[in-house]
Amino acid sequence: MPDSVLGGPACLLHFDDEAAIARATAEAAGLAPAQVERHRFPDGELRLRLPAALPPRVVLWRGLHQPNEKLVELLIAARAARELGARHLTLVAPYLAYMRQDMAFNPGEAVSQRIVGGFLGTLFDAVITMDPHLHRIERLDEAIPLRHAIALSGAPLLADFIAGRRPQALLIGPDEESLQWVAQAAQRHGWDHAVCRKTRHGDHEVDIALPVGLDVHGRAVVLMDDVASSGQTLVRAAQLLRAAGAASIDVAVTHALFAEGAVRRVREAGVREIWSTDCIAHASNAVSIVPTVAGTLRELAARPD
């Protein structure tokens, strides 16, 4: 049974599958961790159990990869937390789902970014995430209508890690949308950078063109992006880079979604190492977001509501 934390410090609620990173963040941020108990009934419905009483400030940690059921968890947990004493509720979602569809590409399509962002805005007073996939908007508060909609970036963290492994790296983004992360990381260490041009023909079919006029021969290339899912874009980019004579090809991503078989395909394309942050637990995790998120939580707690 979850313990009561009424009257104690601000607490951080988490689910069992994210206990390690959530508890590490709680310790770094000076929060009391508490696990949300989760039970699934035979018909698929969920029962959640929170501590019997909560302090006024509560943080809820829930990464939104494989998001559909987790959005229901957030609805139940957030409403219950309010009933149990929480007056200020912060969501930490290291990966924020449904941000890619930011416009209707065909008549009748739902703009999921606006819908899911609005939903989260009704549940929480603040949202913290890492590298949300914002393409046609610049700020997270345009998708989640909150005063404290905070988008952190894994690019500086990955850049510092890369500097220790490939000090003369050439950073290349697999498509135009990756420029925001690639440029930020390259500027941090004074590296050359460029992005490929991508044409997508479906979820698993893409055409890639290397940057015009860029000589990659003999260079240590790092392909960098916010997220890797099917891996097809990285595969095609790596194949072209290998054919163009790159000395080495590595991959660095904030969110290692990697569908089944994606890592194998990426490595078969010539990629030596894959590095990711621990936003999503994966074998490629090389960089921790804990210090960055904990620092942000401390700063947020120090601000007036």
Q: Which of 98, 148, 82, 97 is nearest to 121 (CA)?
A: 148
CB 233 within 8 A of CB 199: no
Active-site residue list: 198
Strand-pair category, 197-200 with 206-209: antiparallel
Non-local (6+) Cβ contacts of 53 within 8 A are 4, 5, 6, 84, 85
CB 126 within 8 A of CB 92: no
Angle at 98 between CA 43 and CA 283, to 5 degrees: 80
What is the edge-to-edge ordering of all strands in the sheet holding 170-173?
A: 192-195, 170-173, 220-228, 248-256, 274-277, 285-287
